[in-house]
Structure 1
Amino acid sequence: MTSTQPFLREPDAVLGLLNSRRDAAGVLRRCVLCLLPACVIVFAGFQRRWMSDDGHIYVRTVRQILAGNGPVFNAGERAESSTGTLWQWLLVLAGLPGIDIARAAMYGGLLLTAAGFALASLGALRLYADKAVLPLGCLVLLALPPVWDFATSGLETGLATCWIAGAWLLLVTRARSLATCVIIGLGPLVRPDLALVTAVFLVAQWLTVQPSRRAAFGGLGAALALPVAYEIFRVGYYGQLMPLPGVTKEASESLWRRGFGYLADFGEPYLLWVPALFLLAALLPSAASAASAASAAPADRRDAPPLIPVLAPVVAGLLCWGYVIKVGGDFMHGRMFLPGLLLMLLPVFLVPLTRAWTIAAVGIGIWAVACASWLRIPYEGQIGPGGVADERGVYVRQNAAPHPLHHDFAGYPSNVDYARLVREADREGTPALFLARTPAGTNSPTVTGVYNTLGFSGTVVPLSGVALDPIGLAYPLAAHSERIEGSRVGHDKRLPDTWIFADRGHGPLPEGLDPAGVAAARRALDCGALAELRAATRDPLTPKRFLRNVAGAWERTTFRFPNDPVLAERQLCGAQ
């Protein structure tokens, strides 16, 4: 017997070695599938790296925090200009050791986007267990120029990509810990509208895990703890229920027609109906197979992917798109549709190697090559006829630089002139108020700049100065003014100079301003809801002021006043 043992063990050893090599090859193949989409988006994003003007809005707020002035855009006025709360504080952490904040925002967004693509790939591999897979949904994302553009830009898009993919991976792996609930609950802090994703994913997690009642309430508490705590801080500190850009852009209104125009602006140039048709054609046999597997033996059911992690991101993505369309879209081409598109493509980011999916992958691959190579919007480098802009192209052209980071606007004389006027006033120690790009000497204690391009203005105006925008992204008075019908999306508020001078100006009136209008505006500013709005954002933050801000947050957030100072005075002051 002993003489035959080596002979018997040798085939087992050979089989074990072959199996281990096959396992190693499988692990290597899966690693490549995880990392390849991430590497491609890093390459594409790096080639089109840039910093948007809205990204520089974050930068000024971060600089104010690091300077000890609090999370504000202008010292002395509590206004929340950062839509992505978590992104703002991540940039604060990046700035603590002295890293250039704009550079951290640009490259940090790229790294987070890549991490999101890797997490999405890993989630798809887990979803389809040990099956061989091939790329599909990732090809759609990697082919679209807006995805390349907003992989950087300094905005929170990269963080949103990473959070969405990471939260979905936790759903796929059926993670049960309270930490999972905390991560899923971060959506409103990534962007307020991603609260929709948080709600859908929490329901999906509850259906998947089926916890006890006590565990369910514990998980819900863990998920809501940070968002609720920050919302209490927000209403007490800023006196608003949402970040100021949400007030400015009237995030609760319904502008369906303009929203569908924004959808057409995104879908038509890239022929997005082509990959959609291939996806539908492949989903039909896959859905039939899933239905037959559901009625088959339990052993066969294990081959089908779990239904809840497949449906949850699709439902969340459709809700995100529906919300974007409802509020009228955005002024940046494609940007607001990217989170929803990622969500809807997560279940097919990678797909099983079947005949139907292979045909779809080939068709989408051909479209992806054509899209990446030739399909472009007709207004590259400009603002389109509908008011939607090729945002990166505009800033490349205006800065006369292929990768604008710290904007000098060398190709845009008006901005160059504005920066020169601000710097001269600051250097000479002469306070100045700029109305419609026209300086006028005042006795104001600091330099005050009024300009539409807020991120740029916040860069050139010193932190001790005041950078105001008549659109209202960081200026509460402008944010609560009436919307101007028919104006450009995202720019449909324009606080008249009369109000700005009445609020901030001193000394002789600049040429062109109506003295009666300025007098009426100054009286209105001391009446009713306008007086309360100014007190909520400018009075010292005592405990009493904090509680008063909390109590009046709803009325303050929904308050709007007429652009006509005389009409506003009549409404707010009445018989006074």
Structure 2
Amino acid sequence: MTSTHLSLREPDAVLGLLNSRRSAGRSLRRGVLCLLPALAIAFAGFHRRWMSDDGHIYVRTVRQILAGNGPVFNAGERAESSTGTLWQWLLVLAGLPGLDIARAAMYGGLLLTAAGFALASLGALRLYADRAVLPLGCLVLLALPPVWDFATSGLETGLATCWIAGAWLLLVTRAPSLATCVVIGLGPLVRPDLALVSAVFLGAQWLMVRPSRRAALGGLGAALALPVAYEIFRVGYYGQLMPLPGVTKEASQSLWGRGFDYLADFAGPYFLWVPALFLLTALLPSAAGRRAAAPLVPALAPVVAGLLCWVYVIKVGGDFMHGRMFLPGLLLMLLPVFLVPLTRAWTIAAVGVGIWAVACASLLRIPYEGRIGPGGVADERGVYVRQNAAPHPLHHDFAGYPSNVTYARLVREADRAGTPSLFLARTPAGANSPTVTGVFSTLGFSGTVVPLDGAALDPIGLAYPLAAHSERIADGRVGHDKRLPDTWIFADRGHGPLPDGLDPAGVAAARRALGCGPLAELRAATRDPMTPGRFLRNVTGVWERTSFRFPNDPVRAERELCGARQPNRQPKALSPS
């Protein structure tokens, strides 16, 4: 009886063991599918690791914070030069134990990018439940050189990749909680334009869960708590509605033509219409099949958010870095097909996209590698590799670019001896008075060589409020179409005899204009001691201050702001820096 009893139970035990092994094997394969895209982008990003000049803008602000000067670019002037608020404060945490901030920014971005790819893979696995999957959308991203380049760079792109993928994973898992709402609501702190993604994802979560009114208001409050709190701090401390780069780049204006040129610059060289066609042809039979169809809301939400991000980038005229501003939107649109079900239609699409990906990764390149293109868009990594004469530039010395080397030498000489030069003005020591002032357009580099108690000013206005509120130059390079004349800079910061080439009447008019109306208020909002009264005045006047612009011609500016009647004379400018 005993042997019979055992023999009857043995088949069930064997089947259970086989099923558990199959389940373990399936879990292992799914885990590998999650890790492979992350490992691939980690390898590609490390192979092309670098630090951008804009990344060094973050570094100087972090150094100022750690030095006790507050979240400013120059001590004594409250200007928010960091577009990615959360990235700035993460770098502060990295700098607390004494880590090299530039190195932490470069490798931290790489780790966050890889984590984002892993989270995107996991989200796709959850979206298609327990079905077998194969890679598709991840192949598109892995084939594009801009994705490799901005896996590092020191900018907030890696954090944006990780946050987008993580927020979508929370959406797919349908885990409504206050913590989920807090994470989804972080978009504006990752980058201001990612508020669009937060809004779409919160709307999608509401459609999926349909919470009570009380729960919905609680979730909305949790999502808005940190962004609203920081916005109150921003308007009171800096006196602006947005980070200063948003002011200088006129983020509220529309430049559709230039934006479509930026899209063509990104999509054209890589023939992005090829994978788009494969995806579209596979989507139709996939949507018709019940087994292959994904839940509608979590599948559509990132596509809608990605399209809105692309529309916004096109509206504001794009960017000067090749492909960079389209990467978050592209990731969003590819999330639902990052991995796809193993069906006939998707397999054909995956093969076609795979062939394109091999060709793109190995052959397709922009025609202006290592340079600035004819439309002002740059192969940003290639430019800094060439100018620094280094394959992986980290701490820029611009060994291959003599004008920057000369500038660094002038700064160091002025800091040691107080000798004025073409780009530098020495000012007396005192309250809110920098020891040495450097004026240079390559702001991250300038912020590296100018000491923290000095002033690194850029005529473009990324960290200099006066330049940010000047008029835009017609037909200027995208992202660099403001250039405050040296007349204004000397009137604002200079002391002693006028440098050769400056018009005394123009300097005098600029100095009078700086004491009138909105210009005087702008200087007070950013330079007066921070008191409760100053904070409140910054808050109440923030709308007018953020929208205020003044003419580059100091005589016209004086006439408009002070009511003076002076002959309209154009100031002579120094040689451009």
TM-score by length of 1: 0.96
Give the corresponding residue for 1:269.
269
Displacement after TM superposition at 1:304 (Å): 3.5
The amino acid across from 2:356 in the alignment is W
Give the corresponding residue for 1:285.
285
Q: 2:371 aligns with which of 358, 372, 382?
A: 382
Give the corresponding residue for 1:165.
165
Question: What CA deviation, in whole Å up to 9, does each residue of 1:280-325 have, x standing for no partner?
Answer: 1101111222xxx4xxxxxx7xx74210000000000000000000
Secondary structure of the residue that 1:207 maps to in structure 2? Answer: helix
Displacement after TM superposition at 1:462 (Å): 0.3
| Identity across the alignment (%) | 88
Displacement after TM superposition at 1:17 (Å): 1.0
Give the corresponding residue for 2:21.
21
**1:421 pairs with 2:410:** yes
Give the corresponding residue for 2:198.
198
Give the corresponding residue for 1:340.
329
Give the Cα–Cα distance (whole angstroms) in 2 for the partners of residues 359 and 123 of structure 1.
Answer: 22
Taking the TM superposition and a 5 Å limit, the aligned residue runs for 1:311-460 are 311-428=300-417, 430=418, 432=420, 435=422, 437=423, 439=424, 443=428, 446-460=435-449
Question: What CA deviation, in whole Å up to 9, does each residue of 1:331-384 have, x standing for no partner?
Answer: 000000000000000000000000000000000000000000010000000000
- May I ask how many residue pairs the two structures share in their alignment? 561
Residues 442 and 210 of structure 1: is their aligned pair in 2 closer, same or farther, counting only changes over 3 Å? closer
Give the corresponding residue for 2:179.
179
Displacement after TM superposition at 1:13 (Å): 1.0
The answer to whether the 8 A contact 1:422-1:460 is kept is: yes
The amino acid across from 1:363 in the alignment is G
Secondary structure of the residue that 1:488 maps to in structure 2? Answer: coil
Give the corresponding residue for 1:228.
228
The amino acid across from 2:380 in the alignment is E
Q: 2:495 aligns with which of 477, 481, 506?
A: 506
Question: What CA deviation, in whole Å up to 9, does each residue of 1:259-280 have, x standing for no partner?
Answer: 0000000000000000001001
Displacement after TM superposition at 1:3 (Å): 3.6
Give the corresponding residue for 1:560.
549
The answer to whether the 8 A contact 2:558-2:564 is kept is: no
The answer to whether the 8 A contact 2:121-2:339 is kept is: yes
Displacement after TM superposition at 1:2 (Å): 3.7
Give the Cα–Cα distance (whole angstroms) in 2 for the partners of residues 210 and 3 of structure 1.
Answer: 58
Displacement after TM superposition at 1:443 (Å): 4.2
The amino acid across from 1:61 in the alignment is T
Return 5+ residue gaps in structure 1 as ranges.
Answer: 294-299
**1:47 pairs with 2:47:** yes
Give the Cα–Cα distance (whole angstroms) in 1 for the partners of residues 426 and 463 of structure 2.
Answer: 24
Give the Cα–Cα distance (whole angstroms) in 2 for the partners of residues 305 and 264 of structure 1.
Answer: 31
Secondary structure of the residue that 2:134 maps to in structure 1? Answer: strand
The answer to whether the 8 A contact 2:440-2:457 is kept is: yes
Question: What CA deviation, in whole Å up to 9, does each residue of 1:374-426 have, x standing for no partner?
Answer: 10000000000000000000000000000000000000000000000101111
The answer to whether the 8 A contact 1:431-1:448 is kept is: no
Secondary structure of the residue that 2:399 maps to in structure 1? Answer: coil
Give the Cα–Cα distance (whole angstroms) in 2 for the partners of residues 91 and 231 of structure 1.
Answer: 20
Give the Cα–Cα distance (whole angstroms) in 2 for the partners of residues 206 and 535 of structure 1.
Answer: 44
Give the corresponding residue for 2:83.
83
Q: 1:572 aligns with which of 551, 555, 561?
A: 561
The amino acid across from 1:347 in the alignment is P
Give the corresponding residue for 1:60.
60
**1:532 pairs with 2:521:** yes
The answer to whether the 8 A contact 1:431-1:447 is kept is: no
The answer to whether the 8 A contact 2:241-2:543 is kept is: yes
Give the Cα–Cα distance (whole angstroms) in 2 for the partners of residues 175 and 532 of structure 1.
Answer: 48
Residues 403 and 257 of structure 1: is their aligned pair in 2 closer, same or farther, counting only changes over 3 Å? same
Give the Cα–Cα distance (whole angstroms) in 2 for the partners of residues 240 and 200 of structure 1.
Answer: 26
Give the Cα–Cα distance (whole angstroms) in 2 for the partners of residues 412 and 489 of structure 1.
Answer: 22
Mean Cα displacement is larger for which, 51-60 or 7-16?
7-16
Give the corresponding residue for 2:511.
522
Question: What CA deviation, in whole Å up to 9, does each residue of 1:167-195 have, x standing for no partner?
Answer: 00000000111000000000000000000
The answer to whether the 8 A contact 2:413-2:419 is kept is: no
Give the Cα–Cα distance (whole angstroms) in 1 for the partners of residues 142 and 537 of structure 2.
Answer: 49
Give the Cα–Cα distance (whole angstroms) in 2 for the partners of residues 8 and 555 of structure 1.
Answer: 85
Give the Cα–Cα distance (whole angstroms) in 2 for the partners of residues 304 and 142 of structure 1.
Answer: 25
Displacement after TM superposition at 1:231 (Å): 0.1
Give the Cα–Cα distance (whole angstroms) in 1 for the partners of residues 175 and 477 of structure 2.
Answer: 44
Give the Cα–Cα distance (whole angstroms) in 1 for the partners of residues 81 and 426 of structure 2.
Answer: 28
**1:486 pairs with 2:503:** no
The answer to whether the 8 A contact 1:443-1:507 is kept is: no
The answer to whether the 8 A contact 2:425-2:495 is kept is: no
Give the corresponding residue for 1:296.
none
Return 5+ residue gaps in structure 2 as ranges.
Answer: 566-577
The answer to whether the 8 A contact 1:76-1:538 is kept is: yes
The amino acid across from 1:181 in the alignment is C
The amino acid across from 2:334 in the alignment is L
Question: What CA deviation, in whole Å up to 9, does each residue of 1:230-284 have, x standing for no partner?
Answer: 0000000000000000000000000000000000000000000000010011011
The answer to whether the 8 A contact 1:49-1:403 is kept is: yes
Mean Cα displacement is larger for which, 535-544 or 441-450?
441-450
Give the corresponding residue for 2:207.
207
Q: 1:468 aligns with which of 457, 462, 467?
A: 457
Secondary structure of the residue that 1:351 maps to in structure 2? Answer: strand
The amino acid across from 1:227 in the alignment is P
Give the Cα–Cα distance (whole angstroms) in 2 for the partners of residues 37 and 376 of structure 1.
Answer: 22
Mean Cα displacement is larger for which, 535-544 or 3-12?
3-12
Give the Cα–Cα distance (whole angstroms) in 1 for the partners of residues 344 and 69 of structure 2.
Answer: 61
The amino acid across from 2:328 in the alignment is P
Displacement after TM superposition at 1:442 (Å): 5.3
TM-score by length of 2: 0.96
Give the Cα–Cα distance (whole angstroms) in 1 for the partners of residues 356 and 363 of structure 2.
Answer: 10
